[in-house]
Structure 1
Amino acid sequence: MKYGTLLLLLLCIGCSSSKVVYDYDSTTDFSEYKTFNFFEDVGKGLTALDVKRVTHEVKLALEAKGMQLSETPAMYVNIFAEERESLNRNTIGVGIGSGGANVGFGISGGIPIESRKINQQLTIDFVESKNNQLIWQGIATADLREKITPEQKIVYYQKIIEKVLDKYPPKDIE
């Protein structure tokens, strides 16, 4: 039962559409950045609990790339979110029909299903600690259900952050 619920959760979250865009300073040598830390005011636009979730996931992702959390970092990480509420007005169609030799009959109707979704734009910035210049930015836009459990939020942020940081460090295209 527990695994079935988790599988259903992953399928629902996995099917949610998310879009990720990246930008970076092409003159930057990203191999120089081995240490990081977070800005003190990281998480603007997120709840205190979501800040904990997001910073934890970013920390794990950067450590998996060989970087270390440091009090004297080469770069700082800033994270902020913007949210817009949208009303999803889907319907389920019901129909009955019959037809044949010049006689036809049909009935159809729609049952409205309203649900609220939150369109969240999560931005992750990497800022050079020496000169406070932005060197890399990843922005993810995704829909988040209004009523979501803490466990579902963890999975949501894991997937989003994994997708955003997939392209860090950037590979030069020649």
Structure 2
Amino acid sequence: MKKLFILLFLIVLTSCSSIYVNYDYDKTTNFKSYKTYNYFSDVNTGMSELDSKRLFKALDSALLSRGYMVSETPDFLIDIKSIEFQQARGSTVGVGVGGVGNNVGGGLSIGLPIGQTKLGREIIFDFVDESNDALFWQAVSESNFKLNASPEKREALFIAIVEKVLKGFPPEIK
């Protein structure tokens, strides 16, 4: 029970961090026809083996809760790629002019970045139709990444990423 509480706390804590997701899909796809999935046999996530296992576990759990089953003869295949990058620092330059009465003044301010640069990770989820080998849905997530994060924090981050990514699957087609 204590471990469950800690995991839920970490999920809430991690969900406060910024995870951005962009979706794209083929609007002619009949998403109701997909019931089973599997991963590409040569999937190379670009992450450590332990992080890959954490991501696959989170994705399997989330897809199962949505009614999708892993199969040896799947309706669609999933490919996952990731890239680590340094996030841009927030330095700024500002110029201002103003005055009161007959006095006119100007000013210049420069914002200097303080602290270390942050690492980010982009994860791309490609869902490919098995019958015609065509990409039909894609999500690109971007989030903060800490090299020295504990295994629990990493697991919680992957759960939060997967939940946010799968909010757009299947898409609401209008």
- TMscore range, shorter length: 0.7 to 0.9
Counterpart position of 2:133: 132
Mark the runs of 5 or more structure 2 residues left unpaired by the alignment: 92-112
* 1:53-98 CA distance string (max 9 Å, x none): 11111111111111110000010011110111348799xxxxxxxx
Aligned CA-pair RMSD: 2.7
Number of aligned pairs? 152
Q: Distance in 2 between matches of 1:61 and 1:3?
A: 17
Q: Is the 8 A contact 2:11 2:159 kept in 1?
A: no
After alignment, is 44-53 or 125-134 more displaced? Answer: 44-53
TM-score normalised by L of structure 1: 0.77
Counterpart position of 2:24: 23
Answer 1 or 2: higher relative contact order, Cα 8 Å, separation at least 6: 2
The structure that is strand-richer by fraction is: 1
Matches within 5 A, 1:19-98: 19-86=20-87
Counterpart position of 1:114: 115
* 1:94-143 CA distance string (max 9 Å, x none): xxxxxxxxxxxxxxxxxx96345321111111000111100100111111
TM-score normalised by L of structure 2: 0.77
Q: Is the 8 A contact 2:11 2:160 kept in 1?
A: no
- What is the CA-CA distance between 1:45 and the residue it aligns to? 1.3
Q: Distance in 1 between matches of 2:5 and 2:35?
A: 40
Q: Percent identity?
A: 36
Other structure's SS at 2:115 match: strand
